[in-house]
Amino acid sequence: MCIAGRSIISVTIKDIAKLANVSHTTVSRCLNDSPLISDKTKNRVLKIAKELNYEVNSSARSLSTKKTGIIGVIYQQELEDFGSSAYINELFLELRHNLETLQLDTILLEAINPDTFMSNTIRLIRQHKVDGFLLIHGQISPNDITYINEYDIPAVQVHFKPDYLDLNTMDYYITDNIRGGYIAAKHLIERGCRKIIALECSPNIGKEFEDRTTGFKNAAKEGRLAEEDCMVFKMKCKYLSAYHFVHEHIELIRTCDGIFAQADILASACITALKEHGLRVPGDIKIVGYDDSFYSTLVPPFITTIHQPREEITVKACNRILDLIKTDGEEIKSLEQEQIEPYLIIRETT
């Protein structure tokens, strides 16, 4: 099937114009649903467009509108380890999905090109390759942020909020980690725990884990646990770290009745290791995880955990970026900085 000798793969508005006996300008207006055009011609043109299976040439449109319909999603290289970043990956897929719903395509990249060490963020902006950014990155470079702010590039920070920056100028949707830690500890205490260990992930990304510990301590104080009965241990967010921790501190752990693991993967490791020492969960010791990632329902007993409100975060972030792109700095946009509350999901480990 060919139009004027050229394969159907590249139908242009001129082709449609010819068949509809109008100018290509009119076709363009029809396709963009301009109010200038009469319904009659609009319908006729759209029908032909459909018949020809027309799709806009996005380069051409971009060149003239300066919009690409593409969002750059920046992720953190170090999180490539899918084991310890299950939640981030779930987050990413949700973002991509939501963007698609909003008719936006997604370019995924690391902040830094691993070969040239140049900023991908800045490159994409200068190349006009994306309309904006979603940043799932706890340690984005200050340069990038400055650049984004200076040129007023639409961008929203998702999940992470780098604490080394003054982010007064950038939108973000993050979770309330203090609250999450608080809920977790409070739940343990309500279940009767009086001596609790918190497993804090380290290194800290932003203050994510530190905050969870803060919340944990707040609840402990509120529940009148003695200082020495709420201990905090830092470790890498890896299965083996928690696994070895349990083996190395088993005597201490035997004297405890609760563990707050700041990631489900750590909770899962604890359960396995405890089992090897003959300790029962939740009989001998109760455990609360964090994230509500797939780890929490991988092996029985399923893990009581803090649900990260990914649905809300991703939907809001995607809608927001779309807004920013559309208004494009016309109106002075107010800042959207929201901290969304996580909540407890009770399963079998408490």
Partner DNA sequence: GTGAAAGCGCTAACAG
Partner DNA sequence: CTGTTAGCGCTTTCAC
Q: Classify the C-alpha dihedral 30-35-39-41 as positive or negative.
A: negative
Residues 134-163 that bind its own copies (CB under 8 A): 151
| Distance separating alpha carbons of residues 319 and 312, to the nearest angstrom | 11
Pick from its own copies, DNA, none: which does 41 bind, CB < 5 to 8 A by kind? DNA
CB-based contacts of 157: which residues, under 8 Å, 6+ apart?
Answer: 135, 137, 140, 167, 170, 171, 172, 173, 174
SS3 call for 299 = coil
Break the chain down into helix, strand, coil percent, rounded to 5. Answer: 45, 20, 35
Residues 49-88 that bind DNA (CB under 7 A): 54, 56-57, 60-61, 63-65
Among 143, 300, 311, 341, binds its own copies (CB under 8 A): 300
Nearer to its own copies, 110 or 348 (CB): 110
Count, residues near its own copies per rule CB under 8 A:
57
| Distance separating alpha carbons of residues 136 and 159, to the nearest angstrom | 6
Q: Does 23 bind DNA (CB under 7 A)?
A: yes
What are the beta bridge partners of residue 297?
A: none
Nearer to its own copies, 207 or 244 (CB): 244
Among 4, 8, 14, 190, binds DNA (CB under 7 A): 14
List the structure tokens of 304.
């009581």
Pick from DNA, its own copies, none: which does 14 bind, CB < 5 to 8 A by kind? DNA
Count, residues near DNA per rule CB under 7 A:
28
Supply the minimum distance, in Å, between the C-beta of residue 25 and its own copies: 18
Q: Does 5 bind its own copies (CB under 8 A)?
A: no
What is the residue type of 105? D
Q: Does 59 bind its own copies (CB under 8 A)?
A: yes
Q: Classify the C-alpha dihedral 199-202-208-211 as positive or negative.
A: positive
Side-chain half-sphere CA neighbours of 34 within 13 A:
12
Q: Does 109 bind its own copies (CB under 8 A)?
A: yes
Q: Does 106 bind its own copies (CB under 8 A)?
A: yes
Q: Does 28 bind DNA (CB under 7 A)?
A: yes
Q: Does 298 bind its own copies (CB under 8 A)?
A: yes
Pick from DNA, its own copies, none: which does 29 bind, CB < 5 to 8 A by kind? DNA
Closest residue by Cα to residue 144 from 111, 110, 109: 111
| Distance separating alpha carbons of residues 57 and 16, to the nearest angstrom | 14
Pick from DNA, its own copies, none: which does 231 bind, CB < 5 to 8 A by kind? none
Pick from DNA, its own copies, none: which does 25 bind, CB < 5 to 8 A by kind? DNA
Closest residue by Cα to residue 74 from 126, 141, 166, 27: 141
CB-based contacts of 145: which residues, under 8 Å, 6+ apart?
Answer: 162, 165, 167, 170
Among 10, 43, 146, 327, binds DNA (CB under 7 A): 10
Span interacting with its own copies, options 50-58, 167-175, 211-219, 256-264, rule CB under 8 A = 50-58
Residues in the chain: 350
Q: What is the number of other CB atoms lying within 10 angstroms of the CB of residue 328?
A: 15
Q: Does 327 bind DNA (CB under 7 A)?
A: no
Closest residue by Cα to residue 283 from 293, 295, 271: 271
Pick from DNA, its own copies, none: which does 123 bind, CB < 5 to 8 A by kind? its own copies
| Distance separating alpha carbons of residues 303 and 286, to the nearest angstrom | 10
Q: What is the binding site for DNA (CB under 7 A)?
A: 10, 12-14, 21-26, 28-29, 31-32, 36-38, 40-42, 54, 56-57, 60-61, 63-65
Task: Provide the binding-site residues for its own copies, judged by CB under 8 A.
Answer: 7, 9-10, 53-60, 62-63, 68, 70, 80-83, 86, 89-90, 93, 96-97, 100-101, 105-110, 113-115, 120, 123-129, 151, 239-240, 243, 269, 272, 275-276, 294-295, 298-300
